[in-house]
A and B are shown apart, each in its own frame.
Chain A
Amino acid sequence: MSTAQSLPALAADFPAPQIAYSALSPMVAVFGAALIGVLVEAFAPRRARAGLQLAVALLGLLGGLLAVGLLAGTREVTAVGAVAVDGPALFVQGTVLALGVAAMLLLAERSLESGGGAIVAQAATVPGSADERALVGTDHLQTEVFPLAMLAIGGMLLFPASNDLLLMFVALEVLSLPLYLMCGLARRRRLLSQEAAVKYFLLGAFSSAFFLYGLALLYGYAGTVSLPGIAAATQVTASNDGLLYTGLGLLTVGLLFKISAVPFHSWTPDVYQGAPTPVTALMATGTKVAAFGALLRVYYVAFGAIRWDWRPLLWVIAIATMAVGALLAITQRDVKRMLAYSSVAHAGFILTGVVAATRAGLAGSLFYLLAYGFTTLAAFGILTLVRDADGEATDLSSWAGLGRRSPMVAGAFAILLLALAGIPLTSGFTGKFAVFSAAADAGAAGLVVVAVVCSAIAAFFYVRVIVLMFFNEPAADGPTVAIPGAFTSAALALGVAVTVVLGVFPSPLLKLADQAALFIR
């Protein structure tokens, strides 16, 4: 009885949250498409599924992109203060959605491999079993990968828009769990793929635990999990600093894991290598962009007042990340692993923009994320084209002389590598210039010097691949370059075009990033 009596009172204390669905429309579109995808999986006939799934996914992503465009300039906090829709959130969401379109096109490419594509025919079959052999070569496909990818992308949209640590944790899990699964869906080398999935899952869960523990400590410190609430607490509370810094540190570990910063990067090469390449492309770009969006929000909104305490830490981590990423990439013999370490190094470069802790640093980081995302996505896309009898030929030696046989593909890859190396007239240079100058202006000149040295080291291994492709004799039994299908062509064209355009005419996007670079508090 007492329970029944108290219910109305509780209802009065707990009003239905006001949710501005218009502000959430990009996420609504993507999550909606994901749910429709699940229904398609359940009801559509198997033959029609792949096409339907792609159509639904692309519709959802393009709808989300349209919604982001319509929302441009919006600055509001909704869902009881849990979601912030502001410039950085929309910029990151737009970037993730555009990258998602390209990644989805790579996922849907089926002309490269007989029947399937990069995704396994039937994930439940035991690798090496008779069942598996029966399905290889058929046009079976684990089409669940599409709704999974959409759910991950939905999480990536929510992650940088979370204005509340609890929601941020939920978003983190929403984006991570589908990715764990997708890592294990490679059509070839399935054991490696499944090993990658398990590694990613175990380490991801480990890092989530850190995040959650940090969240709890911060709640203990501030009495709230909302970012503005924590910010307010750091400005007034003088006691319990132990809770604050321990909580911040543990939270940081969870975020740094997702951007694969050193020393939380060790999963990156193994997972990137094992996962199906289109999934790797999505992880290396979408996840990193979204995680940086969340990291920037946490540091700038919640801990902006105590930036003098976390900046030295990020200094050290940025240096370690750039140095380890660049150094380890040098000795890699596998192009996919090399790109994985390259993504580690780039996380360090973007961190220099975060360290700046200024509006210019935020704008530079946003620009860099977009530029890096498209370049890296296209680079992984090209990996799917260079194949031999065992699937993708990722060993460096087999890329020798590629420029002689396929000048178009090798030329495009060369442009992308030059952009990753940060050579002028590519987006990579503009992005590096933006973050480095922001960091230098914010008094982090020493960090910039290290970053430039690391860029020089990194340029070595990028250019080495170009030299290998254009100035070495082709190997006799070298890989063939598959003719890219329409989907892959579109994704690659998009990536290369963005890379070049942002190098030659960067000012419109720089201006846009600068306008967007203001968090709502």
Chain B
Amino acid sequence: MSVTASSALLVQGAGPQYVNATGLFTLSWVLIALPLLSAAVLLLTGRRANAWGHLLGCASVLCSFVLGLAMLFAMLGRSGPDRLIDQHLFSWIPAGSFQVEAGLLLDPLSMTFVLLITGVGGMIHIYSIGYMAHDPERRRFFGELNLFVAAMLLLVLGDSFLTLYVGWEGVGLASYLLIGFWSYKPTAATAAKKAFLVNRVGDVGLSLAIMLMFATFGTTSFAGVFSGADRMMAATATGIGLLLLLGACGKSAQFPLQSWLLDAMEGPTPVSALIHAATMVTAGVYLIARSNPIFDVSPNARLGVTIVGAVTLLFGATIGCAYDDIKKVLASSTMSQVGYMILAVGIGPGVYALGIVQLVCHGFFKATMFLGAGSVMHATKDNVNMRHYGGLRRLMPITFLTFTAGYLAIIGFPFFSGFYSKDKIIEAAFDKGGTSGLVLGSAALLGAGVTAYYMTRLMAMTFFGRPRWEEGVTPNESPRSMTMPMIVLGIGAVFAGALLTFVGDGLAGFLTPSLGPAEKGSPPVISASGQTLLILAVATVGAVIAYLQFGRRSVPDTARQDVPVVVTAARQALYGDAVNEAVFMRPGQYTTRALVFFDNFGVDGAVRGLAALVGGSSGRLRRVQTGFVRSYALLMFGGAALVVIGLTLAYAI
């Protein structure tokens, strides 16, 4: 949808030129329609669909994937500029000069997301068949997963910020529903509410950004906004950029709106894998990458983005070291990895694509690990405490192998995915030059070391050492429907980075029409190979420390309490909730109390007082109505006198 006002300034000029969709590309709406239709069927037909609902759910997403793949090949057959394909769907609100159009934009950037969402999403759907096999509400689960996929596809395919916003709210809704899927658990219900509320803060930012765009450009379509972006005032660009950043922070769990992601782990593990690792939390990255023409013209906004990214990547990595809950470790890791992506898209022109490469690779390796964690939980009766694992590698070989693939990918082991994606971002941060480049690069480098530390810790506690299982737990490998997707995604975790870097022009080259060409910044401070070695060295140090701490020694059943302040703080998620409570919740609580007080005594008092006043004056006026003609006549006479006097006075004055 794009909103255009005829009176508004419609600027022509720079910015992307979109071509109209033809042939296969006119079917882009089908990508969204398939999972949406499936969601509607699953959620509306009720129990009758229990027998086949999960199959329909998987089939719709896989069909979208196949269609997306066909479109990818059709797109590869076109030359660069022709790869920006816009399809007008319908006029949503044709109200005079206020036009709201609905349309979809299929370009290399959205293509990448479509394949990631439907590909990884399809695998996770298949995995869920096994994982949710014993849940009586499995059909509803698939319906809500499909709803999420449809909303996410709308988010990445919309050709205006308004369509994006519809999808944005749609994924928020699906996320809320799925975190709270087991809403009979109070923790799950609370977590869902928390995610929803924190996201609202970010959504306000996004909606304000859209309003500001409309006020500035008279339109919210990508084409209209981007073609005018280079002419707007710097302050406006910074304002829009920072508001978009606020939106991104909410959806992508970036500092300071990160707190909901840890609680979101209350949802079923496939949800954590799909929504809270591979796709939805990367929507913020998509938003900033998509808005690149705005960030191109505002270095200040970009600086804000990089700061948020760098802070979050360290923040997430730090708290990842402290948790014993395997899903929360992975969630902290997600926060941290998305921080890398945000950092990359914040560095700006030429580096946007690196963020997307990291995003795709992360989608594979983090989904692999989440599904692995789900498999482990499946085997240990839904225990999430890593202190109760240990020695699982022999009993769950497939889980162990795929998890190891994800592990090696995330720590940036040479030739695994992370080696190509994350290291490039660290290099780009250093290459940014100046003090900021040094600071950001150092932060990213340190983050790599900490990542290696906490991931090694996780591996050691889960798969190595002696078994520390609780009584009655006899771990087994998970069924085929769960291991197959893990294997597929594990293969992706191993090879995605290399494939996306070396096949053809690589993903970065493919994204050029959307994000601009990759640029080389100032000459590197340290040579590329030197940097690679440095990163590897730091990561090795992190891994070795973790191995010494957790691989060599036995792991106690409970965490030690006599630990440094830093560890205590990390265990409390660096007091993120405490800060929220102190800064937002308490004042909010006091404000509501004050408002309730004011409402009771002020508003209600005024209302009651007014009612009493009205009733009282009514009662007093009634006494005039005596029923005696003589008093009525007197009243009339008095009235007549007043009328005459009034008229004469009005004239005299």
Task: List the interface of chain A (C-beta within 8 A of B).
Answer: 198-199, 202-203, 206-207, 210, 241-242, 245-246, 248-250, 252-253, 256-257, 262-264, 266-267, 269-270, 309-310, 312-313, 316-317, 324, 327-328, 330-331, 457
Which of A241, A248, A331 has the most chain B CB atoms closer than 10 A to its own CB? A331
Residue of B nearest to A320 (CB): B639
Residues 612 to 653 of chain B near chain A (Cβ within 8 Å): 614-615, 617-619, 621-622, 624-625, 627, 629, 631-633, 635-636, 638-640, 642-644, 646-648, 650-651
Q: How far is the CB of A192 from chain B (nearest CB, A)?
A: 11
Picked from B618, B635, B636, B648, the residue with its CB within 8 Å of the CB of A330 is B618
For A256, the chain B residues whose CB sits under 8 A away are: 643
Q: List 24 A-B pairs, Cβ < 8 Å.
A: A203-B629, A210-B640, A245-B644, A245-B647, A246-B644, A246-B648, A250-B640, A252-B643, A256-B643, A263-B635, A263-B642, A264-B635, A266-B625, A266-B635, A266-B636, A269-B625, A309-B650, A316-B646, A317-B643, A327-B617, A327-B621, A330-B618, A331-B619, A331-B622
Nearest CB to that of B633 among chain A residues?
A: A206
Contact across chains for A253 and B643 when beta carbons are under 8 A apart: yes
Residues from chain A with Cβ under 8 Å of B650 in the complex: 309-310, 312-313
11 extra interface residue pairs, beta carbon distance < 8 Å, beyond A269-B625, A328-B621:
A245-B647, A249-B646, A250-B643, A263-B635, A263-B638, A266-B635, A266-B636, A310-B647, A313-B647, A327-B617, A330-B614
Chain A residues whose CB sits within 8 angstroms of the CB of B642 once the complex forms: 263
| Chain B, interface SS category | helix
Partner of A264, one of B617, B618, B639: B639
Chain B residues lying within 8 Å of A324, measured Cβ to Cβ, are 621
B615 touches A202 (CB 8 A): no
Contact B639 A327 (CB under 8 A): no
CA distance A331 to B648 in the complex (A): 36
CA distance A199 to B624 in the complex (A): 16
Q: Which residues of B contact A199 (CB under 8 A)?
A: 629, 632
Which residues of A sit under 8 angstroms from B615, Cβ to Cβ? Answer: 330-331
- B636 with A206: CB separation less than 8 A: yes
- Closest Cβ neighbor of A249 among chain B residues: B644
In angstroms, how far is the closest chain B Cβ from the Cβ of A272? 12
Q: Are B651 and A270 in contact (CB under 8 A)?
A: no
Chain A residues positioned under 8 Å from B639 (CB to CB)? 253, 262-264
User: Nearest Cβ in chain B — how far from A306, in angstroms?
Assistant: 8
Nearest CB in chain A to that of B639: its residue: A263
Contact B614 A313 (CB under 8 A): no
Q: Contacts of A207 on B, CB cut-off 8 Å?
A: 636
CA distance A250 to B650 in the complex (A): 15
Complex Cα distance, B619 from A328, in Å, reads 7
Closest A residue to B645 by beta carbon equals A249
Report Cα–Cα, A331/B631, bound state, in Å.
Answer: 21
Check A331–B632 contact: CB distance below 8 A: no
Q: How far is the CB of A488 from chain B (nearest CB, A)?
A: 30
Residue of B nearest to A270 (CB): B627
Summed over the interface, the residue pairs from A and B with CB atoms below 8 Å come to a total of 89
CB distance from A496 to the nearest CB of B (A): 29
What is the CB-to-nearest-CB distance from A4 to chain B, in angstroms, rounded to a whole number? Answer: 47
- CB-defined contacts of A242 to chain B, threshold 8 Å: 648
Report whether B648 and A245 are in contact in the complex, using a CB–CB cutoff of 8 Å: yes
- Considering the chains assembled together, what is the distance between the CA atoms of A396 and B646 in angstroms? 39
Which B residues are CB-close (under 8 A) to A248?
Answer: 647
Check A203 against B651 for contact (C-beta < 8 Å): no
User: Which residues on the B side are within 8 Å of A250 (C-beta)?
Assistant: 640, 643-644
Q: Once the chains are docked, how many angstroms separate the CA of A253 from the CA of B633?
A: 12
Closest to B644 in A: A249
Give the chain A neighbours of B629 by CB distance below 8 A. 198-199, 202-203
Judge whether A328 and B625 touch: CB under 8 Å: yes
List A contacts of B633 (CB < 8 A): 202-203, 206
The residue among B633, B642, B643, B650 with the most chain A CB atoms within 10 A of its own CB is: B643
- The winner among B622, B632, B642 for most chain A CB atoms within 10 A is B632
Give chain B residues whose Cβ lies under 8 Å from the Cβ of A257. Answer: 636
Q: Once the chains are docked, how many angstroms separate the CA of A248 from the CA of B643?
A: 9
A199 to B618 alpha-carbon distance, docked (Å): 23
Q: Are B636 and A328 in contact (CB under 8 A)?
A: no
Question: Within the assembled complex, what's the spacing in Å between the Cα atoms of A266 and B627?
Answer: 9
Q: Find the B residue at minimum CB distance from A198.
A: B629
Q: CB-CB < 8 A to B621: which residues of A?
A: 324, 327-328
Q: How far is it, in angstroms, between the C-alpha of A457 and the C-alpha of B619 when the chains are bound?
A: 15
Bound-state Cα–Cα, A317 to B642, Å: 11
Which residues of B are found within 8 Å of A252, using beta-carbon distances? 643, 647
Question: Whole-angstrom distance between the alpha carbons of A321 and B647 in the complex?
Answer: 18
Whether B640 contacts A249 by the Cβ 8 Å rule is yes
How many angstroms from the CA of A422 to the CA of B639 in the assembled complex? Answer: 29
Name the contact of A309 in the complex, choosing from B614, B618, B651 (C-beta under 8 A): B651
Contacts of A262 on B, CB cut-off 8 Å?
639
* Contact A249 B647, beta carbon cutoff 8 Å: yes
Kindly list chain B residues whose C-beta atoms are within 8 Å of the C-beta of A263. Answer: 635-636, 638-639, 642
User: Considering the chains assembled together, what is the distance between the CA atoms of A246 and B644 in angstroms?
Assistant: 5
Please name all residues of chain B whose beta carbon is closer than 8 Å to the beta carbon of A202 when the two chains form the complex: 629, 633
Give the nearest-CB partner of B617 in chain A: A327
Enumerate the 9 nearest inter-chain pairs by beta-carbon distance, A residue then B residue, closest first: A263-B639, A249-B644, A266-B632, A331-B618, A253-B640, A245-B647, A249-B643, A327-B618, A249-B647
Cα A266 to Cα B619 in complex, Å, equals: 15
Tell me the bound Cα distance from A210 to B640 in angstroms. 8
> Which residues of B sit under 8 angstroms from A203, Cβ to Cβ?
629, 632-633, 636
Complex: A426 Cα to B653 Cα, angstroms: 42
Does B614 lie within 8 Å of A457, measured CB to CB? yes
Taken together as a complex, chains A and B put the C-alpha atoms of A279 and B624 apart, in Å, by 25
In the complex the two chains form, is B643's CB within 8 Å of A313's CB?
yes
Which chain A residue has the least Cβ–Cβ distance from B646? Answer: A313
Q: Which residues of B contact A327 (CB under 8 A)?
A: 614, 617-618, 621
Please report the C-alpha to C-alpha distance between residue A331 and residue B176 in the assembled complex, in whole angstroms.
51
Rounded to whole angstroms, the CA-CA distance of A6 and B625 in the bound complex is 58
By beta carbon, the residue of chain B nearest A460 is: B614
Which of chain B's residues have a CB closer than 8 A to the CB of A309?
647, 650-651
Q: Is the CB of B624 within 8 A of A266?
A: yes
Smallest distance from the beta carbon of A245 to chain B beta carbons, Å?
4
A328 partner residues in chain B, CB cutoff 8 A? 618, 621-622, 625
**Residues of chain A lying within 8 A (CB to CB) of residue B624:** 266
Residue of A nearest to B640 (CB): A253
Bound together, the chains give a CA A503 to CA B404 distance in angstroms of: 72
* CB nearest to A252 among chain B residues: B643
Q: Which residue of B lies closest to A457 (CB)?
A: B614
Q: How far is the CA of A369 from the CA of B423 in the complex (A)?
A: 81
Closest to A269 in B: B625
Nearest CB of chain B from residue A321's CB, rounded to whole Å: 11
Q: How far is the CA of A249 from the CA of B621 in the complex (A)?
A: 25
Whole-angstrom CA separation of A31 from B251 in the bound complex = 80
Report how far A175 CA is from B301 CA in the complex, Å. 80
Chain B residues with CB under 8 A of A267:
632
CB neighbours of B618 from chain A (8 A) = 327-328, 330-331
Interchain CA distance A495-B621 in the complex, whole Å: 32
* Alpha-carbon distance between A241 and B614 when the two chains are bound, in angstroms: 40
Residues of B close to A316: CB separation below 8 A: 646
**Chain B proximity of A373: nearest CB distance (Å):** 25
CB closest residue in chain A, given B619: A331
Residues of A near B638 (CB, < 8 A) are: 263
- Closest-by-CB residue of A relative to B632 is A266
Query: How close is A325's CB to chain B, nearest CB, in angstroms?
Result: 10
A263 to B632 CA separation, bound complex (whole angstroms): 9
Q: Verify A241–B651 contact, CB threshold 8 A.
A: yes
Q: How far is the CB of A471 from chain B (nearest CB, A)?
A: 19
In the bound assembly, the distance between CA atoms of A267 and B627 in angstroms comes to 8
Task: Please report the C-alpha to C-alpha distance between residue A328 and residue B644 in the assembled complex, in whole angstroms.
Answer: 26
Q: Which of chain A's residues has its CB closest to B637's CB?
A: A206
Contact B636 A264 (CB under 8 A): yes
Q: Which residues 386-432 of B have a CB within 8 angstroms of A? A: none
Q: Complex: how many Å from CA A248 to CA B650?
A: 13
Nearest Cβ on chain A to B577's Cβ, whole angstroms? 46
CA of A245 to CA of B635 in the docked complex: distance in angstroms? 21
Q: Give Cα A203 to B635, complex, Å.
A: 11
Q: Smallest Cβ distance from B628 to chain A, in angstroms? A: 9
